[in-house]
């Protein structure tokens, strides 16, 4: 006999089950929201890294945290990156954020630590990636072998910066990251501050876009401002 209809048993959540599911999902979402600033402000140094790369656009308060990391004695070389700037009271000739940061650090680092500025050209976009590309090309010209480096950035920008440096330096270089703590909001309660909300949400969206949509150009000479 041919059967046109088959009876099957279906399992459905009761209202208690739906309540438990909603509470579980809501709790996980709240946990993630509370932890997102810490996730973005990555603190994950690379094993064996003796070179610290400092993003030159950092404020002086952030650079003091970089100095604290340098004074631990872990690093032998400090490289600063960044493009042209028109901020602070820069001495004549110091026209890039890389040179500005290098001047600030060089006057205060322990003896024996070499600080070198690796300035990048001006660019309307992909500035972090371009800075990393310039750093890579400088290392090749100078005969500096980059095997493991730590990148020093600020707050919730750190994880995205590391993503860009990893893309530019390639899989043969281990890139760790250190982050100066946020100064204008409490990262454990970032949602309680307008500055925290704006910064954390912006960096979260930027990280998602970078992870899913950014594709490093094959020909880096075509980057805006590339040397």
Tell me the whole-structure pTM to 2 decimals. 0.80
pLDDT in tens, 185-205: 888 887 888 888 888 888 888
% of the chain with per-residue pLDDT over 90: 45
| More confident of the two residues 54 and 24 | 54
Q: E strand or H helix at 55, and its extent? A: strand 51-55
Binned at pLDDT 50, 70 and 90, residue 77 comes out as: very high
What is each CA distance from 131 to 30, 49, 57, 126, 221, in whole angstroms?
A: 36, 19, 11, 9, 13
Burial class for 140, CB neighbours closer than 10 Å (0-12, 13-18, 19+)? exposed
CA 130, 41, 22: angle at the middle one, nearest 5? 120
| The two three-digit tokens of residue 170, written as one number | 């390639």
Residue 63: is its pLDDT beyond 90?
yes
pLDDT in tens, 106-135: 989 998 899 999 999 887 778 899 999 999
CA 32, 22, 209: angle at the middle one, nearest 5? 35
Structure confidence at residue 179 (pLDDT): 93
pLDDT in tens, 144-179: 999 999 999 998 889 999 999 999 999 999 999 999
CB 129 within 8 A of CB 119: no
Tell me the β-bridge partners of 153.
179
Structure confidence at residue 163 (pLDDT): 93
Residue 23: is its pLDDT beyond 80?
no
């Amino acid at each position: 006999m041919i059967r046109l209809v088959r009876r099957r048993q279906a399992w459905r959540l009761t209202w208690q089950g739906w309540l438990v599911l909603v509470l579980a999902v809501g709790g996980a979402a709240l946990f993630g929201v509370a932890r997102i600033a810490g996730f973005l402000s990555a603190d994950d140094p690379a094993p064996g890294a003796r070179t610290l790369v400092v993003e030159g656009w950092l404020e002086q308060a952030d650079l003091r945290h970089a100095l604290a990391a340098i004074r631990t004695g872990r690093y032998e070389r400090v490289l600063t990156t960044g493009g042209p700037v028109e901020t602070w009271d820069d001495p004549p000739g110091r026209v890039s954020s890389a040179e500005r940061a290098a001047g600030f650090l060089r006057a205060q680092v322990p003896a024996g630590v070499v600080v070198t500025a690796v300035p990048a050209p001006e660019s309307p976009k992909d500035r972090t990636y371009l800075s990393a590309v310039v750093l890579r090309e400088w290392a090749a010209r100078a005969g500096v072998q980059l095997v493991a480096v730590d990148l020093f950035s600020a707050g919730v920008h750190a994880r995205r910066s590391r993503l860009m440096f990893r893309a530019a330096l390639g899989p043969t270089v281990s890139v760790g990251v250190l982050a100066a703590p946020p100064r204008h909001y409490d990262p454990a309660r970032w949602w309680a501050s307008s500055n925290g909300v704006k910064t954390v949400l912006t960096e979260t969206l930027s990280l998602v876009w970078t992870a899913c949509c950014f594709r490093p150009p094959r020909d880096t000479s075509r980057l805006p401002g590339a040397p």
